[in-house]
C-alpha cells in the first residue's frame, strides 16, 4: 500500500489524530513557556524574599491552565475517533484541536509575561499583588474562549457519520 492509498483510506483518522496531538502539543508548549517566564522572575524574588513564595507560585501557575485545556480537548477528540471516520469529520476534529491549541500556545506566553509583571507588583507592594493576578486572569479569558469554542465544535456542531 502506498502512502497516498493509505491517506485515501485512512485520511479522516490521520487528521483527527493530528487534531488531538496538536491540541495537547501546542497548548502544552505554550503553558511550559509561560510558566517558565514567570518562574524565572519569581525565582529572583523568592531568593531575596522567601516568604513571598506562595503568592509568587499562584502567579506562576496561571499560564499552566492552557495546557490543561488542550489536554482535555485532545482526550475528547480521541474519544470521537470511530472506525471509518470520513475526511471531512477528520478535518473538523483537526480544526477543533487547532482552535484550543493556537489560543493556548499564544495566550499562555502572553499570560506568562503579564504574570511576570505581577511578580514585580508583589515585590514592591505585596498588599496589591491581587491586581497582578487579575491582570493575568484577563489574558486567561481568551484561552477559555478557545477552549469553549473547541467544546462547541465537538459537542454541538460535530457532523456525525
Residue 83 is assigned to a structural domain of this protein: yes
Residue 104 is assigned to a structural domain of this protein: yes
Residue 81 is assigned to a structural domain of this protein: yes
Rounded CA separation 145/127 (Å): 30
- pLDDT tens per residue across span 67-83: 999 999 999 999 988 88
- pLDDT tens per residue across span 23-75: 999 999 999 999 999 999 999 999 999 999 999 999 999 999 999 999 999 99
Domain count, the chain: 1
Task: Determine the pLDDT at residue 49.
Answer: 96
Domain that holds residue 39: 10-155
CATH of residue 25's domain is 1.20.120.610
Count other Cβ atoms within 10 Å, centred on residue 142. 16
Does the predicted TM-score (pTM) go above 0.85? Answer: yes
Residue 62 is assigned to a structural domain of this protein: yes
Percent of the chain topping pLDDT 70? 99
Rounded CA separation 130/23 (Å): 30
Residue 84 is assigned to a structural domain of this protein: yes
Residue 1 is assigned to a structural domain of this protein: no
Residue 5 is assigned to a structural domain of this protein: no
Q: Count Cβ atoms within 10 A of the Cβ of residue 91 and give its class: 0-12 exposed, 13-18 middle, 19 or more buried.
A: middle
Residue 23 is assigned to a structural domain of this protein: yes
Amino acid at each position: 500500500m502506498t502512502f497516498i492509498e493509505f491517506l485515501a483510506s485512512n485520511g479522516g483518522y490521520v487528521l483527527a489524530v493530528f487534531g488531538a496531538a496538536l491540541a495537547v502539543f501546542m497548548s502544552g508548549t505554550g503553558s511550559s513557556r509561560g510558566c517558565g517566564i514567570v518562574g524565572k522572575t519569581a525565582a529572583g524574588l523568592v531568593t531575596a524574599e522567601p516568604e513571598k513564595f506562595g503568592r509568587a507560585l499562584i502567579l506562576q501557575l496561571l499560564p499552566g491552565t492552557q495546557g490543561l485545556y488542550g489536554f482535555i480537548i485532545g482526550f475528547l477528540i480521541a474519544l470521537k475517533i470511530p472506525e471509518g471516520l470520513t475526511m471531512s469529520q477528520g478535518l473538523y476534529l483537526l480544526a477543533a484541536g487547532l482552535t484550543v491549541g493556537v489560543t493556548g500556545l499564544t495566550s499562555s506566553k502572553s499570560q506568562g509575561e503579564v504574570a511576570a509583571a505581577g511578580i514585580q507588583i508583589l515585590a514592591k507592594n505585596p498588599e496589591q499583588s491581587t491586581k497582578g493576578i487579575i491582570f493575568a486572569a484577563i489574558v486567561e479569558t481568551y484561552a477559555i474562549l478557545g477552549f469553549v469554542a473547541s467544546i462547541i465544535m465537538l459537542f454541538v456542531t460535530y457532523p456525525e457519520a
